[in-house]
Structure formats: C-alpha cells, structure tokens
Amino acid sequence: MVVAKHARPADRKLARERAREWKRFRQDYLYSQRHLAAALGCSKRTISAVETAETTYPLRRTLQRFAALKRKHEREEYEAAERRGQLEALRAARYAPIYSGQGA
C-alpha cells in the first residue's frame, strides 16, 4: 500500500470511486473489513485505507484479487437469479439506479 502525499487530482478521484465500490461490495455481499481482508490476503488496515480513499495506490495483487472476488459473487448471484427465474428483476434492480440518475 502506497500513500501519496501529493497525489494528482485524477488519482484522488479514482481512489474515491474505488472506495465507494469497495464499500458497496461489502454492503451487498455482507463482508466485514476483517473477512474481506482475509479473502484478499491483505491486512484490515489496507481495506480501511482503500475505503477511506487514504491510499491512492493499493497493490496490484490486491486489486486483482478484489476484481476476481467481485466477479465470482456477481456470477453466483446471476446464476441463482437465473435458476429462480428472477433474472429480469435482478437486472432491473442493478441498473435502475444508474438510468434514473440516482447512482449506486
């Protein structure tokens, strides 16, 4: 985890977006910071730093593991909805806030 004292505005914006994404993931899939850290193989402090946008440059390995974990959960959710016949409802719930201007 690299903490830049004078990060560029674009990097800070990316860090804030990443923080929102990680917090949303934890809320959606009921992970605590401790459990997410264990799943990603990093420290709880790293998770906290990413979620507060304190760090602008987390390790690439951590980002890759997060992306893989997120894909896994989304795929499982998609398959479960497909089995239940609720795929359209899942799509509507996921994308309605984006199209209505509310944001996720």
Q: What is the SS3 assignment for the chain?
A: CECCCCCCHHHHHHHHHHHHHHHHHHHHHCCCHHHHHHHHCCCHHHHHHHHCCCCCECCHHHHHHHHHHHHHHHHHHHHHHHHHCCHHHHHHHHHHHHHCCCCC
pLDDT score for 78: 80
pLDDT score for 86: 76
Instruction: Provide the CATH topology of domain 9-99.
Output: 434 Repressor (Amino-terminal Domain) (1.10.260)
pLDDT score for 32: 96
pLDDT score for 85: 74
Q: How far is CA 75 from the centre of its chain?
A: 15
pLDDT score for 83: 76
Distance of alpha carbon 25 from alpha carbon 12, whole angstroms: 20
pLDDT score for 17: 95
Q: Are 93 and 87 in contact (CB under 8 A)?
A: no
Give me the residue spans of the domains in the chain.
Answer: 9-99
Rounded mean pLDDT for each run of 10 residues along the chain, 104 residues in total: 74 94 94 96 95 91 96 88 75 64 53
